[in-house]
Amino acid sequence: MKAVILAAGRGERLSPLTDHKPKPLLKVSGKPILQYTIDTLKHAGINRCIVITGYKAQAIREFLGDGSRFGIEVQYSHNPEYVKGNAFSLRTARYLLEDEKIFLLIMSDHIVHKAIVEAALKNLCNAPLLCVDREPRYPPQIKDATKVLVNSENFIVDIGKNLSSWNAIDTGVFLLNEKIFQAIDYEVEKEVYPLELNRCVKRMISTGTQLWACDVSGCFWLDIDTQADLTFAEKVFKGVLDA
């Protein structure tokens, strides 16, 4: 299976740190966030990935190269119009996924334990799916988080940052298929930007594609959007990803 890493965004809320360096290359405990993502994939048994670049793409390419020094094969898809949103960025990788019935999608600004990816892969028969946390423990997991509403049959019926009714948090790890690109195409025709993944996932669900909630409560993950998040990550995560 291939993994797709979304690494195209500007990371404006981390300015001025991102004025001269792309967000995925900011360091936590001496290591770039993107390297944690690569290590997580490798330790979960995934050895091929597509990195979607946008802002300061060359810096990411120079850091990762072909992936050989990290023990993983890296391909690239570039979105020069990254300001149009992360779903628009994902769309650029479609041609590299033509032979993949299912692919794993992960965010380059999330630090996630390998157990989350392993849980997704163990539930391949339930794909498409989203790994969700029903018991978030840390403030950065809830603040500005994408929330989901899971029904009694364990399917996601709604997703978004401003849900009034929700019972889990999106961890940023998906198993997806061609249906997501059909939803993106539909939304692109509206030309309403930025086009975020949440909107396209919601469209996919509304047209009859069931999205299963893979419960990874208790597994470590953090979404890093601000300098406060970086500081918090330094304090809490040391050693966790090696457990």
**pLDDT tens sequence across 174-219:** 999 999 999 999 999 999 999 999 999 999 999 999 999 999 999 9
Higher pLDDT, 13 or 240: 13
- Please compute the mean of the pLDDT values over residues 91-108 and round it to a whole number: 96
**For residue 142, what are the CA distances in angstroms to 53, 197, 216, 228?**
27, 18, 15, 14
- Alpha helices per DSSP H over 28-173: 33-43, 57-64, 86-91, 114-122, 139-142
pTM: 0.94
pLDDT, position 189: 95
- pLDDT, averaged across the chain: 94
pLDDT, position 92: 97
Give the three-class secondary structure for 221: strand
**pLDDT tens sequence across 32-65:** 999 999 999 999 999 999 999 999 999 999 999 9
